[in-house]
Structure 1
Amino acid sequence: MPHDDQADPDAHDDGWPDAPGDTALTIPVPEADALVRTGTRAHVTVLYPFLPLSRFSADTEEALSDLLASTPAFTLTFRETRRWPGVLYLPPTSDEPLRALTKSLRARWPEAVPYRGVFGDEGLDPHLTLASGAGTDALPESDFTAALPLSSPVDAIRLIVSDGPGTRWRDVRSYPLGTGVTTARR
């Protein structure tokens, strides 16, 4: 995935090449932007990849808008750092709203397998990547923990798209959560 100042659904450069038109559903977390060392804005990935942009239609937009409008807004809180090899991240507490949202999206679009199945059918645990790659394992967690805990209200989900390997991810649309207003059926 590219490293840029837009969005990078987890800052991995190997394991899955981004294809032009790949999309992801993400949650921006501007409260953590100053902590992130991946060259991206702070975010939590809800589902990557989602549907290729070429598959979006008026019906897709309507179904996605309706699903997200029926999902209550929530708050993400980050209290501690954790590590995977080569990755330093923040796990949200509680992660249940994220898991429920991903499960709802997967039920509607089962072909959208998280991380192309690289981490199994369920993907990775919900997280906000702070740093990844060479040198990450040597970063002192104390560089990050002084800013914790931090909380971020979540009232929308952002759809982003890749223009291909090595390119920036760009925002396409933001979908509000919890409005309770759904699109009228035709």
Structure 2
Amino acid sequence: MTSENSGTGQAGRTGLVVTVTEAEPVVRACRDRLDPAVRSGIPPHVTVLFPFLHESRLDGVTLAEIEAVIGRHRPFEARFGDFGRFPGTLYLAPWPDAPFRALTEAVVDRWPETPPFGGEFDEIVPHLTVAQGQDEAVLDGAEADLRDRLPFVTRVASVDLMVHDGSRWRPRASFALR
């Protein structure tokens, strides 16, 4: 959910994520060492949309609208067994990734003023970051360390709304897929 220039330290910033608790025992040691986002309270996750609406816009009506948008999607299983990379970043790629993309597209259709990652990237690439801000040799080592611990499967049944309080990310609400 973070990138170097995303301004994630600003209080009131929000994001919608699928928290992947099954990833925790697999990627925790790697993330603790190699993903600075861990220190701000970000759990292992696949980002649905970041940045999202400012916290000041999250009234009861808006939360109900988020619930309705997310609730139009059915729960699904995702397998994490493959790696991918962005510059300086190692991630696990979910399969299938189409349901994650569909969630992002549905939220953006409702709130077009919130393009994924502020419009920084042209393509939606669902991913679970395990290391970022690292050189290729470090990423190669992390991939080698994790390879034997894959695959794992998760059941995606909800999307979590995370809010930044100025120093840490905290869960604000969870919206069920139905």
Scaled by the length of structure 1, the TM-score of the pair is: 0.82
What CA deviation, in whole Å up to 9, does each residue of 1:70-114 have, x standing for no partner?
A: 210111111111222211101111100011111111111101111
Within a 5 Å distance, the mapping from 1:159-178 to structure 2 comes to 159-164=161-166, 167-178=167-178
RMSD: 1.5
The match for 1:183 is none
Within 1, Cα distance between the matches of 2:15 and 2:59?
16
Within 1, Cα distance between the matches of 2:134 and 2:112?
34
What CA deviation, in whole Å up to 9, does each residue of 1:104-137 have, x standing for no partner?
A: 11111101111112224x4x41000011113464
Tell me if structure 2 keeps the 8 A contact 1:82–1:90. Answer: yes
Q: 2:17 aligns with which of 6, 16, 26?
A: 26
Within a 5 Å distance, the mapping from 1:102-181 to structure 2 comes to 102-120=104-122, 122=123, 124-135=124-135, 137-139=137-139, 140=141, 141-164=143-166, 167-178=167-178
Which amino acid counterpart does residue 132 of structure 1 have in structure 2? Answer: Q
User: Secondary structure at the residue paired with 1:98?
Assistant: helix
User: Secondary structure at the residue paired with 1:80?
Assistant: strand
The match for 1:86 is 88
The match for 1:182 is none
5+ residue gaps, structure 2, are none
Within 2, Cα distance between the matches of 1:58 and 1:41?
25
Within a 5 Å distance, the mapping from 1:37-52 to structure 2 comes to 37=31, 38=35, 39=38, 40-52=42-54
Aligned residues: percent identity?
Answer: 38
Which amino acid counterpart does residue 51 of structure 1 have in structure 2? Answer: L
Matched, 1:17 2:7: yes
Within 1, Cα distance between the matches of 2:174 and 2:23?
19
5+ residue gaps, structure 1, are 1-8, 179-186
Q: Following TM superposition, by how much is the alpha carbon of 1:173 offset from its aligned partner in structure 2, in angstroms?
A: 0.7
Aligned residues: 164
Which amino acid counterpart does residue 130 of structure 1 have in structure 2? Answer: V
| Bigger proportion of residues as helix | 2
Given the superposition, is the C-alpha separation of residues 66 and 96 from structure 1 closer, same or farther in structure 2, using an over 3 Å criterion? Answer: same
Within 2, Cα distance between the matches of 1:128 and 1:161?
19
What CA deviation, in whole Å up to 9, does each residue of 1:144-185 have, x standing for no partner?
A: 111111111011110000123xx110010111111xxxxxxx
Within 2, Cα distance between the matches of 1:153 and 1:71?
13
